[in-house]
Amino acid sequence: MVVDDHPIWRDAVARDLADEGFAVVATADGVASARRRAEVVQPLVVVMDMRLADGDGAQATAQVLTVSPGSRVLVLSASDERDDVLEAVKAGATGYLVKSASKAELSAAVRATAEGRAVFTPGLAGLVLGEYRRIAQTSGAGPTGPVGPSLTDREIEVLRHVAKGLTAKQIAARLSLSHRTVENHVQATFRKLQVANRVELARYAIEHGLDEDG
């Protein structure tokens, strides 16, 4: 589903995604219409603008996820302001691109979002990582300690790379492992940390300082 208050831009994004093989099941121009249509169509991915007719993208993200909790929201906005990025992420968005992104970059980002990976325009990822680190330092590492419940050295190593946004294929190449072995480590870590997907796993790693080198 594509949510944007500018009809020409909204139609262009929907057309580009359809050309890339995606099924665009709905479009909307605001918070209320996004909620109504998401409740009906239950989209896997929502491409969300931050400036809408009756509110903002953070409000729309929260509303969409209330009625369609299985959806994943990728913000596509003209704004790269810190507050906009953080508000979107806090509302539940799993990625944030600026509108200068190419058609190929948007297509790749939508596919990654559908797979549960966090996608950010270069530069914005560091901003989000820094905010999570600040929150973690304020709240403390929690009762499980700095590494968490019984992770192996290899699982910790894989987790560090997940926190940096690498795909399983990239991690496999860096660690000289098979793609399947990396996926098995990721799934084992999901179970041990009781997280549902790579976004939550990366968040755990960031909160516990595992995105740092070393």
pLDDT digits (tens, 9 = 90+) for 64-96: 999 999 999 999 998 877 788 888 888 888 888
3-state secondary structure of 55: strand
The yes-or-no verdict on residue 167 having pLDDT over 80 is no
Query: Closest by alpha carbon to 49, among 67, 65, 27, 70?
Result: 27
Q: Which residues contact 158 (CB under 8 A, 6 or more apart)?
A: 171, 175, 182, 185, 186, 189
> Average pLDDT over the chain, rounded to whole?
81
What value, to the nearest 5°, has the Cα angle with vertex 31 and ends 83 and 37? 135
The number of C-alpha atoms within 13 Å of 160 and in the hemisphere containing its C-beta is 14
| Distance from the Cα of residue 26 to its chain's centroid | 21
pLDDT of residue 126: 60
Contact call for residues 68 and 37 (beta carbons, < 8 A): no
The CATH superfamily of 2-121 is Response regulator (3.40.50.2300)
Q: What is the pLDDT of residue 142?
A: 40
Q: One-letter amino acid identity for 179?
A: H
Fold classification of 140-207 is Arc Repressor Mutant, subunit A (1.10.10)
Place of tokens 């509303």: 63
Same fold, 2-121 and 140-207: no
What lies within 8 Å, CB to CB, of 19 at 6+ separation is none
Residue 130 confidence class, pLDDT cut points 50, 70, 90: low
The beta-strand segments (E) located in the chain are 2-3, 27-28, 45-48, 51-52, 55-56, 72-77, 95-98, 119-120
Task: Give CA 164 to chain center in angstroms.
Answer: 13
Q: Say what the pLDDT of residue 213 is.
A: 57
Q: Which band of pLDDT confidence, cut at 50, 70 and 90, is reported for residue 1?
A: very high
Confidence of residue 8 (pLDDT cuts 50, 70, 90): very high
Report residue 134's pLDDT band, with 50, 70 and 90 as the boundaries. Answer: low
* Long-range contact set of residues 81-87: C-beta below 8 Å, sequence gap at least 24: 82/127, 84/50, 84/57, 84/58, 85/124, 85/127, 85/128, 86/127, 86/128, 86/131, 87/56, 87/58
Q: What values do phi and psi take at 34, rounded to 5?
A: -65, -45
pTM to 2 decimal places = 0.64
Is 150 a residue whose pLDDT tops 60? yes
> Could you tell me the residue ranges of all domains in the chain?
2-121, 140-207
**7-21, 26-40, 108-122, 181-195: which has the minimum mean pLDDT?**
181-195
The residue that leads in pLDDT, 165 or 143, is 165
CA distance 82 to 181: 37
For residue 11, the model assigns a pLDDT of: 95
Q: Is the dihedral of CA 135, 139, 141, 143 positive or negative?
A: negative
